[in-house]
Structure 1
Amino acid sequence: MTAEASVDAVLSGLDGIRPDVEDLYRDLHAHPELGLAEHRTAAKAAEALRGFGYEVTTGIGGTGVTGVLRRGSGPTVMLRADMDALPVREATGLPYASTATGTGADGVRRPVMHACGHDVHVACMVGFARLMAAATGAWRGTLVVLFQPSEEPGDGARAMVEDGLTDKVPRPDVVLAQHVLPYPAGYVGTRAGSVLSAADNLRVTLRGRGGHGSAPQAAVDPVVMAAMCVLRLQTVVSRETAATTPAVVTVGSVQAGTGPNIIPDEAVLQLNVRTYDQETRGRVLAAIERIVRAEAQASGAPAEPEIEHLNAFPPTVNDADVTARVADAFAAHFGDAAHTLPLQTASEDMSELPNAFGVPYTYWGIGGTDPERFAEAERKGTVGQDIPTNHSSSFAPVLQPTLDTGVRALAVAALAWLSTDSGAGPA
């Protein structure tokens, strides 16, 4: 059976399961859960996989789930879907909008919504897993589906690896993953090489000497120190990084003081850094430290600033050969809807999974925006203003063709290795 015939055989059941995939999506969207608290979501995924005949393992890294389906000799392919939601109050107005709340790592209870589309990922993966299980003669090899917790904080993939993931499932030849993005629904996009940035989150505590607002000469004002740091940090990208080298330095939080006439003892900055290679990353982080320390010294700070590295996401760098195989398969199946994905400044921890196994991977995007709405915004030149992006309280992928595209993309990519005529081992 050719790869195209395998795809047709697997997807022949899509019409029959579409209502169930849509119902699952609406249910997940209405019941979002924060990272490492995805108990309900994980249970639904595990229950579905067991019903389809997969070998299921639960609780990996806390709430991670894997399902293994074997169809004789052949390659082993792993596909990942992330499960967690965000501490965002939903403003979509959907009839299935979330009213859920959840307690974060800081102990504060907040509204929660699927503002990044992980509900799409889970629903599509369950639908794909069901179709693959039903198409008994359409493919060969071993299929591993993985539902990952806590992608948003960046610790879920690592938690699964540290909990022995590599000993709990067969070693894959390749790892595949997708993400819904604010492109037109029906769109699929691949990119070889760098696709998502590395990310570093830092907290900087600047030490001053508090005093009365009427007598600044007797104090060392950390608010002024912080302001100078914020301004000077903007030059790291604009004046210390080549224009051809992507990088972002964002000061996302500035906290200081308790009243208008009180000079505080300290000010706290929180920074986010995005880079695509280790050389640039090292240079940018070193520049941040140099600037912060220099501004503290210039202000006569009584103590050195404290620079804490809170967490980091690895870069996502797609393997060229794996990506080419998936891109060719997408072009054959999706035609003009298959595109080259632009470089993304967002970050992911998915690459820690294939890196733990020492295998190649590729990560692609699918669109989730109403095509007519996107086309109108594009015509007016207002895509950036009119189309909600991931993490927006208004982010709400249209059900179709988003879900169909996600299921089809998973099947087409997996069958580039698992179709009965692929004859392919590792890429």
Structure 2
Amino acid sequence: MFKQFVYDIGTKVYFGPIDKSSLGQEITRYGHKLFFIYQGDFIKQLGIYDLVISAGKEYGFEIVEFTKIQPNPRHSDVQEGIDLCRQEQCDVILVAGGGSAIDSAKAIASGVLIDAPIWDVVLGKYPVENSLPLLTISTVSATGSEMNFGAIISNLETKDKLGLRKPSQRPKATFLNPEYTYSVPQFQTACGSADILCHTLETYFSSDNCMFMLDTFMEGLVRTVIQYAPIAYTQPDNYEARANLMWAAPWAINDFLRYDKENNWTMHPIEHEISAYYDITHGLGLAIIMPRYLRHIIDEKSLKRFRNLGINAFGLSCENDDITLAEKTIEAIEAFCYEQLHLESHLSSLGIDNRYFDEMAAKLASDHGYFTSGYRKLSKQDIVQILNECL
């Protein structure tokens, strides 16, 4: 028996070059004073800034700008955005940028309607019942934040990186122009692709009964990433590669794959601890964790999943026995991340040692000494072992 669910994504997608009329109509559908969040001067270089300003003049909406966006978005920056948005009485938000910008925008959209510090909202001390309408222009293929309702916010003071997942935060419309990703550096292209891959695998390895249709969809997403990420890495203006990655990113995490499943993710919470303490790039942390975690979960129950993944996504021979297929599948992931995309393979290469591993693991193993919400029940010692293997 499969879990019952209702799927209603509610995000309108414009794929391809953005025309001013579509942008202007979507903004004025929801408000007339725009809080425009964007990340870096490259938004101006891409022509997005001029497009928004021109649309504002033609469609008659005011614009308030906010640019304080950093990777692993800080709660303090988000709070500044909330204060400005509230002060200016903006009624609709447009964000242009990658996952950090979009996550910041979601937290601002919710926080502006709540009279409380945003970190207390992230901690769940105050309920999120509504959010300002949010529109996005994505410029990086990675987190898929442009079509889901989750936001990840960091508090560097407490070394915490936590999620704020509220349905009202899901973007009303998103604009996806693959040409905007031509200028994404090789490192960010690689990290974003690792993020898409990990999103898919987090859901693929599920303890629930899995629909065959969704399994094949996920295997197709993995094939797409491993085929097109190396092309985008070496040929940044290859439209086919950029378009496939841009469309794969949101489908790996817009809940289409997950609504029939109960258990949550594991690799992401572990990485969030690492980047909360060391502020590293999220996708890089995932690339380092993925093979170590996957080796940790090889057992009789997961072998069928590894077999199907290895054969259907990585093209491995079905003549291999199950254990060999599992190991070869993980080796293929390592080759993809470390050889084709040239990402670092060890935390020690990033100047990270094991001094905080016990502390990180204790935060995760909060259910009587265990992390219980993922694919496998992990003890604190299990988590420390995985982290040590990442060194």
Q: TM-score, normalised to structure 1's length?
A: 0.24
- Larger proportion of strand: 1
Structure scoring higher RCO (CA < 8 A, sep ≥ 6) equals 1
- Larger proportion of helix: 2
Q: TM-score, normalised to structure 2's length?
A: 0.25
Larger radius of gyration: 1
